[in-house]
Structure 1
Amino acid sequence: MTPEAKSQAIAAAAILLVAGLVIYFLPALVLWIAQFSPTLAVVVGAALLLGFFAIFWLRARYQRRKER
């Protein structure tokens, strides 16, 4: 395995681990925030879920720019 492939695998594993933890604790977090403001709970939940996809989108943009 090349050093570049190894670093990409480690980065992807770290992102998936953090995203998995966020998604695991998301229901409890949203319910706790909803006690104060239901609207804020929806915003936080949506932001955390969209953040998962945004990380991979940003990483793909970085990789495409790096290849040029």
Structure 2
Amino acid sequence: MDRSTRNAAVAAAIILLGFGVIGFYMPAIVLWLGGLSPYAGGAAAALFVLAFFGVFWLRGRSQRRKGE
């Protein structure tokens, strides 16, 4: 494993760990926001899912630019 693949693996592990911790508390966050407004709870859940894929999409774009 060379340096660039190790850095990519470490970055992916940190991102997954961060989203795992947030995902663990997500039901409580959605229920709390849902008590304020059902739309706020739904928006929080949607933003969480979009952010998960968005982070990896942005990382892929960044890696592609470095290769050019």
TM over 0.5: yes
The answer to which structure, 1 or 2, has the higher relative contact order (CA under 8 A, 6+ apart) is 1
SS in structure 2 at match of 1:35: helix
Q: CA RMSD in A?
A: 0.9
Aligned residues: 68
For structure 1, the residue ranges without an aligned partner over 5 or more in a row are: none
| d(CA) in 2 for partners of 1:10, 1:61 | 18
TM-score, normalisation: structure 1 = 0.91
After TM superposition, give the deviation of residue 42 of structure 1 in Å: 0.7
For structure 2, the residue ranges without an aligned partner over 5 or more in a row are: none
| d(CA) in 2 for partners of 1:9, 1:39 | 36
TM-score, normalisation: structure 2 = 0.91
